[in-house]
Structure 1
Amino acid sequence: MAAAKPFIFVCGADDFLVNRAGKARFEELALEVTDEFSREVLSGFAGNVGEVETAINRFRESVQTVSMFGGKRLVWFKDVNFLADTVTGRAESTLKLVEDLKELLETIDPEQVTVLITATPVDRRRAFPKWCEKTADFLLVGGDGDSAAEALAGVVLAEARELGVNFGEGALQLLLAKVGANTRLLIEETHKLATYAGEGKPIEEAFVAELTPNVAEGDFFEAAEAFFSGDLKWTLAALHRHFFTGGDARPIISALQNRNRILLQVRALIDAGDVRLGPRGLDGMPKAQAAYGKHFVGATEKSSYNLFSQNAWYVGKLASTGKLPTLRRLIDNQQEFIVAFGDIVKRSDEQEEVLRDMAVRCLSA
C-alpha cells in the first residue's frame, strides 16, 4: 500500500473553482476529524511581504499544535495568493519565506495532521509548485493556458450533468459567449436554465438567448439584434420599447458600433477569401488569425476592435444572423452612428427620434 502523501495541494487559475474544490475536500476530510477544535481554517491571502510572513507563521503554529485530546488535526491553508507572478510573489523575501514553507511541509506527519492548501493563481514555472506536484496529493483545477475555454465548457457540462439536464445545439456556446470567463456566474446561470428547462429536458439555445444577461460582450440589446437583421419594423419597435422604459441612446449606439466593427472585419476577410460562412459559423478563423493577428500588437483583451479576441462561435453567430451587409453598407453604418451621436448631444431630449431617423436611413437604403 502506497504511503500517504504529506499534504494536499489544490491550485488553479480560477479562484471560484479552486475554493469550491478545496471546500469539498475539507468537508470530506472533516468526517475523519470529528472534534471541531481539531479543525482549523487559516487565510493565506497576502497583500505584501509582511502579510506573507504573518500568514506562514500562523500556519506554522497551527500545524505544530498538538491536538488537545490526542487525535488527528485538520488544517486548511486557503486563499494562498503569494505563489503567483506578482510583485509580492516575485519579491526575494517572499521566495525565501516560500522556501521556509517548503521545509515546514517536509516535516509534516500525515498521521498527526492533515494539511490542505488551496492556492490561486499559481506560477507553475517556479520550484515550489513543481515540488508540490511531485510531493503532495496534487490537484490542478480548471486547467490553464490555452485549455481555459475548454475547461470552462467542461465545468458547465459537469454541472449540467449533476442537475440532470444537457445542452441543446448551440446553447452551451451561446452561454459561454454571453457570460465569458466568469465561472461563478456560469454555474449560477446553468442552475437557472436547468430549472427553467425542467428535469431531464435540454437547455435550448432560445432559453439562453432569452434568460441569460450578456455580461461578456455587452451588446445583446434587442435593438442591435433587430438592426443587424435588417428588419426596420422590428428595429423601430425595439427602440420604442427601450425608450419607453427610460433607456438612454448612448448604450444603443455603443452596441451598434461594437457589432458593426466586428462585422466590418468579418466582411473584409470574407471578401478577401480568407474565411467563409458555413453551417457551423465562420470557417477559417485560425488561418486568418495566423495571417493578420500580427497587426493587433498588444490588443490581447476582448475588444470589438480586434476580431481575433472574440469568441469564434459568437462571431460566426453574429455574421450569420440575417444577411451580412456589404462592406460599403457597414462603413456607411459607422458614419451614421457618428452623426447620430452628434445629434444626440445637440438634441438630448429627442434621443428616440434621432435613433429612429438613423435606423430609417440605414435600413431603407
Structure 2
Amino acid sequence: MATRKTPASAKNPNLHFVTGSDEAEVRIKAKGLVAELAPTDAGEFGLEIIEAPADTVDCSVDMVESTLQAVLTLPFFGGGKLVWMKGVTFLKDSVQGRSEAVQESLEKLLKVLEEGLPQGITLLISAPEPDKRKSFYKSLCSLATTTLCDKPDFGFNGTEEDLIDWVVRRCRERGVKIEPQAAVVLTTRVGANTGQLDAELAKLVTSAGASTTIPESLVRDLVPFTRAGGIFDLSDAINKRNLPLCLDTLAQLRRQGENTIGILLAAIVPTVRNLLLAKDLMERHRLKPPSQANYFTSELNRLRPEEIAHLPRKKDGGINSYSIGLAAMNSGLFDRDHLVSAFLACRDANQKLLSGQASDETLLTQLLVRIVAKNPSNSIVGQKSIPAR
C-alpha cells in the first residue's frame, strides 16, 4: 500500500483530500486527520460530518449541497469547525459520477473552494477509488493537501508473498503478530481485497487481544470459508499429511457444490505434482527444507536454468516458486516412491471419473487416503465416502 502526500506549496492549508484505490486505508487516514484537525475546544460543535449513501443521483447532489451549506455556515460559538465530507462514492466512474446534475453540483463546490474557505472552516473530503481522469479530481488535488492511499500491486505481476507481506505489516501496525501459516490462510481465503482483509484483521485482533500473536486456528475459525480458500485448505492438508483435515475440507467443498473433477485438478493433482517436483529437486541437489515457503526462491535461483525449466509457471512466465516452496517445507513427510505412486493414482482417478466407473465421492475419498495415510492399504478398508449435501 502506497500512502503519500502532495507538496504543500500553493495549497489551501484548511482543505484536505484523502483518496486512493485502497478503501480501507482511505478510511483509516481520514479518521486520523479528523482527530488531528477537529478543534478540541469546540466539543461536538467543532465537527460536522456529511455522510450519505449516495447510491442515487439525488443523494449525491444532496450530499454536495449539504457540504456547501456546512462550509458556508460559521460555528455557533465562534472558534473553528471541521466539516468532513465522508466516504464520497460519486467521484468513481459510475452512473452517479457521470451525471450532469452531480457534475454541476461539484462545479459549485469547486468554485467556493477556489475562492477560499471562510475563516475558521476546515474541509476534509475522503473519497475511495476515484476516477482520476475527472476534472474535479484534478482540480481538488491541486487545491488541497492530498493524501493518496493506493493499493499495492496485486495484479498480473503480484505474488502470494506480496500479499502475505502486506498482511504481516498491517498486523505490526496494529501492535500484534500473526503466525506465518495464519497469514497464508487469511490471504488465501480473502484474496487481494485489502478492505476485506482489513475488516477480517480487525475481527481477529479483537478476538486474539492486543499485543499477542494471531494463530492459524483462529483464522480458520473466524474467517469465512470460500471456494478458493477451500482449495488451498485441501492442498495445505495434503502437504501436511493431515488426513482428518483433508476429509473435513473435502466434505465442505462438496457441500458447497464443488465439481469433483474440479477438486481433483485444482487442488489434489497440483499439490501431489509440486510435492514430487520438490522432493526430486531436494534429493538430486541436496537442498534443505525451507523454514518458510518464500525462502526456497533463493535455492531455486542457485540452480542452472535447465534444472528448473520443468517447474510450473505463473501467468507472467516466472516460476511459481511459492507453491514449490510450500511443498519443499513438507517434503520430509513423504518418500519419493510414494509420491510417484500417488501421482499415478491421480491419473487413474481422473480416468475413472471421466468414464463414470465409480462414485465421485468414493473415488476422491480413497485417493486422499492413498496419498495422505501412512498405511493406505489398511486405511482404505472401512473408509466411508464423503457425501455431497
TM-score (norm 1): 0.65
Q: Quick check: 1:52–1:82 contact (8 Å CA) kept in 2?
A: yes
| Structure 2 match to 1:359 | 368
Pairing of 1:164-183 with structure 2 (within 5 A): 165-166=176-177, 172=183, 175-183=186-194
Q: Secondary structure at the match of 1:85?
A: coil
Q: Quick check: 2:163–2:192 contact (8 Å CA) kept in 1?
A: no
Question: Given residue 52 of structure 1, which amino acid in structure 2 is its aligned partner?
Answer: S
Q: Offset of 1:122 from its aligned partner?
A: 0.7
| Structure 2 match to 1:157 | 169
- Cα distance change on mapping 1:238 and 1:120 into 2, 3 Å: closer
- Cα distance change on mapping 1:318 and 1:257 into 2, 3 Å: farther
Alignment of 1:68 with 2:76, yes or no, is: yes
Aligned mates of 2:13, 2:164 — CA distance in 1: 29
Pairing of 1:307-322 with structure 2 (within 5 A): 308=315, 315-320=323-328, 321-322=330-331
Question: Given residue 332 of structure 1, which amino acid in structure 2 is its aligned partner?
Answer: R
| Structure 2 match to 1:12 | 20
Q: Offset of 1:97 from its aligned partner?
A: 3.4
Pairing of 1:198-217 with structure 2 (within 5 A): 217=228
Question: Given residue 157 of structure 1, which amino acid in structure 2 is its aligned partner?
Answer: R
Q: Secondary structure at the match of 2:125?
A: strand
- Cα distance change on mapping 1:105 and 1:315 into 2, 3 Å: farther
Stretch deviating more after TM superposition (28-37 or 52-61): 28-37
- Cα distance change on mapping 1:241 and 1:131 into 2, 3 Å: closer
Aligned mates of 2:187, 2:34 — CA distance in 1: 30
Aligned mates of 1:243, 1:152 — CA distance in 2: 25
Q: Offset of 1:84 from its aligned partner?
A: 1.0
Alignment of 1:335 with 2:350, yes or no, is: yes
Q: Quick check: 2:297–2:321 contact (8 Å CA) kept in 1?
A: no
| Structure 1 match to 2:134 | 126
Q: Offset of 1:358 from its aligned partner?
A: 3.8
Aligned mates of 2:77, 2:207 — CA distance in 1: 50
Aligned mates of 2:216, 2:249 — CA distance in 1: 24
Q: Secondary structure at the match of 2:86?
A: strand
- Per-residue CA deviation, residues 295-315 of structure 1 (Å, 9 max, x unaligned), is xxxxxxxxxxx9539996753
Aligned mates of 2:350, 2:208 — CA distance in 1: 43
Q: Offset of 1:94 from its aligned partner?
A: 3.5
Question: Given residue 172 of structure 2, which amino acid in structure 1 is its aligned partner?
Answer: A
Q: Secondary structure at the match of 2:132?
A: coil
- Cα distance change on mapping 1:18 and 1:242 into 2, 3 Å: closer
- Cα distance change on mapping 1:54 and 1:264 into 2, 3 Å: farther
CA RMSD of aligned residues (A): 5.0
Q: Secondary structure at the match of 1:26?
A: helix
Aligned mates of 2:112, 2:75 — CA distance in 1: 18
Q: Offset of 1:183 from its aligned partner?
A: 3.5
Q: Quick check: 2:190–2:229 contact (8 Å CA) kept in 1?
A: no
- Per-residue CA deviation, residues 115-153 of structure 1 (Å, 9 max, x unaligned), is 111101112233322222222111112446569885884
Pairing of 1:211-230 with structure 2 (within 5 A): 217-219=228-230, 224-227=235-238
- Cα distance change on mapping 1:210 and 1:46 into 2, 3 Å: closer
| Structure 1 match to 2:309 | none
Which residue of 71, 86, 97 maps to 2:94?
Answer: 86
Aligned mates of 1:197, 1:112 — CA distance in 2: 43
Q: Quick check: 1:99–1:128 contact (8 Å CA) kept in 2?
A: yes
| Structure 1 match to 2:380 | none
Alignment of 1:112 with 2:123, yes or no, is: no
Q: Secondary structure at the match of 1:141?
A: strand
- Per-residue CA deviation, residues 301-335 of structure 1 (Å, 9 max, x unaligned), is xxxxx953999675344544547967974861671
- Cα distance change on mapping 1:361 and 1:179 into 2, 3 Å: same
Question: Given residue 315 of structure 2, which amino acid in structure 1 is its aligned partner?
Answer: F
Question: Given residue 25 of structure 1, which amino acid in structure 2 is its aligned partner?
Answer: L
Alignment of 1:54 with 2:62, yes or no, is: yes
| Structure 1 match to 2:31 | 23
Unaligned ranges ≥5, structure 2: 1-7, 279-286, 299-312, 378-389
- Cα distance change on mapping 1:68 and 1:244 into 2, 3 Å: closer
Q: Offset of 1:357 from its aligned partner?
A: 3.0
Q: Secondary structure at the match of 1:217?
A: helix
Stretch deviating more after TM superposition (22-31 or 249-258): 249-258
| Structure 1 match to 2:5 | none
What is the aligned residue count? 330
- Cα distance change on mapping 1:333 and 1:11 into 2, 3 Å: farther
Q: Offset of 1:339 from its aligned partner?
A: 5.5
Q: Secondary structure at the match of 2:60?
A: helix
Unaligned ranges ≥5, structure 1: 271-276, 285-305, 346-350
Q: Offset of 1:62 from its aligned partner?
A: 1.4
Q: Quick check: 2:38–2:46 contact (8 Å CA) kept in 1?
A: no
Identity among equivalent positions (%) equals: 25
Q: Quick check: 1:42–1:77 contact (8 Å CA) kept in 2?
A: yes
Stretch deviating more after TM superposition (214-223 or 77-86): 214-223
- Cα distance change on mapping 1:340 and 1:48 into 2, 3 Å: farther
- Cα distance change on mapping 1:208 and 1:252 into 2, 3 Å: farther
Question: Given residue 347 of structure 2, which amino acid in structure 1 is its aligned partner?
Answer: D
